[in-house]
Amino acid sequence: MNVIDIINKTKKSYELTDTEIRWIVENYTNGGISDYQMSAWLMAVCINGLTERETFTLTMAMRDSGETLDFSRLGKITADKHSTGGVGDKTSLIIAPVVASCGVAMPKMSGRGLGHTGGTIDKLESISGYRTELPFYEFSETVRKTGFSIISQSGNLCPADKKIYSLRNATGTVDSIPLICASIMSKKLALNADCILLDVKCGSGAFMKTRSDAEKLAVLMEKVGKSAGKKCRAVVTDMDSPLGNNIGNALEVKEAIEILQGKYKGRLYDVCMELTADILELAEKGTLEECRRLAENAVSSGKALEVFRETVRLHGGDCRICDDVSLLPQPRYSYEVRAVHDMKILGINSEEIGMTSLILGAGRLKKDDTIDISAGIVMNCTAGDCISVDDTIMTLYSSTVSDFSEASFRAVNALKFCSI
Ligand code: URA
């Protein structure tokens, strides 16, 4: 087999055989194919796409490049959830304990934030002592004891994806639906839960900016999951405005705990309850309506918060935050963005809010940038709200930035409003 022939076939939109796809993945992973040849093939895929069969084979080849986990000894149905990333998206911190307290186990591996999007692992690291790296035995034991555990991607899972994803980042080949599908689904299939819920975000703060692209990705990922023998569902949810009021790592943990304490309802709570109901239905816990009720009861009874507390404790984290969120890292500086006249908020651009949060220190531009876990934004309004002159629209926080001029300029730019 010859890599030039494979590049040429995809360049001319001819279908590759399963053997050719497996060969290019194996040989790139083991160093037999150079970065420049793989980049040429990835660019051909970006331009011409892949068929569903090719995408499925690529996903399986990437999954098979490393180990596959096995939770069968838990004796429980397992579920996994993936969000394609966004701004203020702390849904995993809420959904995992809720699902676990309804009797479905959630072993989860999550990532770190990059650019305007946040990552669950950074959020968890704002809890003092919380270990995001656990050996498989401890990861699985935590899931057995409490029903869920969230750790960073570790072990030898999907080495092909690690290598291909960093090449895609460096060669402008990230925005391809079959490549995104294969990258996400290979990791989900390597974790190997029985049920997989895919939450494809759509809008200004998401990878997929249009509904039609988000739906294409959702349909493709669901097909790949089902073809691999999983109970799999993909839903498209809105990321045109940030999810919840808080953006930034410790601030998002605080908001997640407050939701688990039953203090707040609203869009974030509703999205979490809907996604949880989808997972519980996939796990055959009842009809969608029954599952939604199970989820709501897990929050209102305080059961989900107890599960969260115990998981944090087993990870070595300070679980007193479940009663006192002021024990989370506190920012040194703050700045209130106030309305200069009466106004109606028409929209909030999530990507701009994500970039404001990054400027404050909460995010990273490059993979190994350090972050300020106390930094971020608390929004005091959502689209549709009317604000009076001098009311606080949002508060900016940081421990590393004390001059808020750049961040506040960007924050105001994120708002679409009209005078009233
Ligand atoms: N997230 C992934 O894991 N892979 C992609 O290709 C895009 C987003």
Q: Sorting pLDDT into bands at 50, 70 and 90, what band is 405?
A: very high
Out of 110, 184, 207, 221, give the residue to mutate to test ligand 1, the one with the largest number of ligand atoms within 8 Å of its CB: 184
C-beta separation of 237 from 87 below 8 A: no
Sequence-separated (6 or more) residues with CB below 8 Å from residue 77: 104, 105, 194, 195, 283, 284
Average pLDDT of the segment spanning 50-66: 98
Average pLDDT of the segment spanning 274-280: 98
Could you report the per-residue pLDDT of 101-154, keeping only the tens digit for each? Answer: 999 999 999 999 988 899 999 999 999 999 999 999 999 999 999 999 999 988
Shared-domain flag, residues 354 and 312 = no
Token digits for 337?
């963005």
Q: Which amino acid residue places its CA nearest to atom 3 of ligand 1?
A: 184
Counting from 1 in the atom list of ligand 1, the atom nearest the Cα of 184 is 3
Cα 92 to Cα 18, 113, 124, 134, 288, distances in angstroms: 35, 14, 11, 18, 19
Enclosing domain of residue 34: 3-49
In the chain, the percentage of residues whose pLDDT exceeds 90 is 95
Ligand 1 close to Cβ of residue 183 (< 6 A): yes
Token digits for 272?
């979490």
Average pLDDT of the segment spanning 3-26: 98
User: Nearest to residue 359, comparing CAs of 343, 346, 377?
Assistant: 377
Q: Is residue 56 part of a domain?
A: no
Could you report the per-residue pLDDT of 228-243, keeping only the tens digit for each? Answer: 999 999 999 999 999 9
Q: Which amino acid residue places its CA nearest to atom 2 of ligand 1?
A: 184
Catalytic residue annotation: 82, 161, 168, 183, 187
Ligand 1 close to Cβ of residue 96 (< 6 A): no
- pLDDT score, position 283: 98
- pLDDT score, position 403: 97
Ligand 1 close to Cβ of residue 184 (< 6 A): yes
C-alpha to C-alpha distance for 387 and 9, rounded to whole angstroms: 58
Q: Is residue 386 part of a domain?
A: yes
Q: Which amino acid residue places its CA nearest to atom 6 of ligand 1?
A: 180
Ligand 1 close to Cβ of residue 180 (< 6 A): yes
- pLDDT greater than 90 at residue 205: no
Shared-domain flag, residues 309 and 336 = no
Shared-domain flag, residues 312 and 362 = no
Q: Sorting pLDDT into bands at 50, 70 and 90, what band is 85?
A: confident
Q: Is residue 165 part of a domain?
A: no
Out of 180, 181, 187, 213, give the residue to mutate to test ligand 1, the one with the largest number of ligand atoms within 8 Å of its CB: 180
Instruction: Look up the CATH number of the domain holding residue 39.
Output: 1.20.970.10
Q: Is residue 257 part of a domain?
A: yes
Shared-domain flag, residues 85 and 126 = yes
CA atoms within 13 A on the CB side of 86: 32
- pLDDT greater than 90 at residue 413: yes
C-alpha to C-alpha distance for 157 and 140, rounded to whole angstroms: 16
Q: Is residue 228 part of a domain?
A: yes
Burial class of residue 121, CB neighbours in 10 A (0-12, 13-18, 19+): buried
Cα 220 to Cα 83, 225, 401, distances in angstroms: 15, 9, 42
Q: Sorting pLDDT into bands at 50, 70 and 90, what band is 274?
A: very high
Shared-domain flag, residues 121 and 237 = yes
Q: How many domains does the chain have?
A: 3
Shared-domain flag, residues 291 and 383 = no
Phi, psi dihedral angles at 117 (to 5 degrees): -95, 150
Q: Sorting pLDDT into bands at 50, 70 and 90, what band is 366?
A: confident
Could you report the per-residue pLDDT of 352-361, keeping only the tens digit for each? Answer: 999 999 999 9
Q: Sorting pLDDT into bands at 50, 70 and 90, what band is 183?
A: very high
- pLDDT greater than 90 at residue 414: yes
Shared-domain flag, residues 134 and 224 = yes
- pLDDT score, position 406: 97
Counting from 1 in the atom list of ligand 1, the atom nearest the Cα of 182 is 6
Q: Which amino acid residue places its CA nearest to atom 5 of ligand 1?
A: 180
Name the region of 194 (left: φ>0; alpha: ψ -120 to 50; beta: rest).
alpha
Tell me which residue has tokens 């838990």.
Answer: 74
Q: Residue 174 Cα, ligand 1 centroid: separation in angstroms? A: 8
The enclosing H or E element of 61 equals helix 52-63
215 forms beta bridges with: none
Burial class of residue 251, CB neighbours in 10 A (0-12, 13-18, 19+): buried
Shared-domain flag, residues 138 and 281 = yes
Pairing of strands 106-110, 79-83: unpaired
Token digits for 403?
């001059």
C-alpha to C-alpha distance for 100 and 416, rounded to whole angstroms: 39
Cα 257 to chain center, whole Å?
Answer: 18
Ligand 1 close to Cβ of residue 165 (< 6 A): yes
- pLDDT greater than 90 at residue 155: no
Shared-domain flag, residues 358 and 286 = no
Q: Is residue 58 part of a domain?
A: no
Pairing of strands 246-247, 343-348: unpaired
C-alpha to C-alpha distance for 271 and 236, rounded to whole angstroms: 11
C-alpha to C-alpha distance for 50 and 58, rounded to whole angstroms: 9
- pLDDT score, position 180: 97
Sequence-separated (6 or more) residues with CB below 8 Å from residue 183: 62, 161, 164, 165, 168
C-alpha to C-alpha distance for 314 and 97, rounded to whole angstroms: 14
C-beta separation of 236 from 73 below 8 A: no
Q: Is residue 137 part of a domain?
A: yes
- pLDDT score, position 367: 82
Token digits for 35?
């970065």
What strand order describes the sheet that includes 231-238?
79-83, 195-202, 231-238
Instruction: Look up the CATH number of the domain holding residue 267.
Output: 3.40.1030.10
Shared-domain flag, residues 18 and 39 = yes
Least confident among 115-119, 276-280, 337-341, 400-404: 115-119
The enclosing H or E element of 79 equals strand 79-83
Q: Is residue 299 part of a domain?
A: yes
- pLDDT score, position 365: 86
Shared-domain flag, residues 76 and 215 = yes
Phi, psi dihedral angles at 128 (to 5 degrees): -55, 125
Ligand 1 close to Cβ of residue 117 (< 6 A): no
CA atoms within 13 A on the CB side of 274: 15
C-beta separation of 201 from 86 below 8 A: yes
Instruction: Look up the CATH number of the domain holding residue 362.
Output: 3.90.1170.30
Phi, psi dihedral angles at 264 (to 5 degrees): -130, 145
Average pLDDT of the segment spanning 23-33: 98
Could you report the per-residue pLDDT of 296-343, keeping only the tens digit for each? Answer: 999 999 999 999 999 999 999 999 999 999 999 999 999 999 999 999
- pLDDT score, position 379: 98
- pLDDT score, position 207: 85
DSSP structure class, residue 401: -
Shared-domain flag, residues 335 and 313 = no
Pairing of strands 106-110, 148-152: parallel
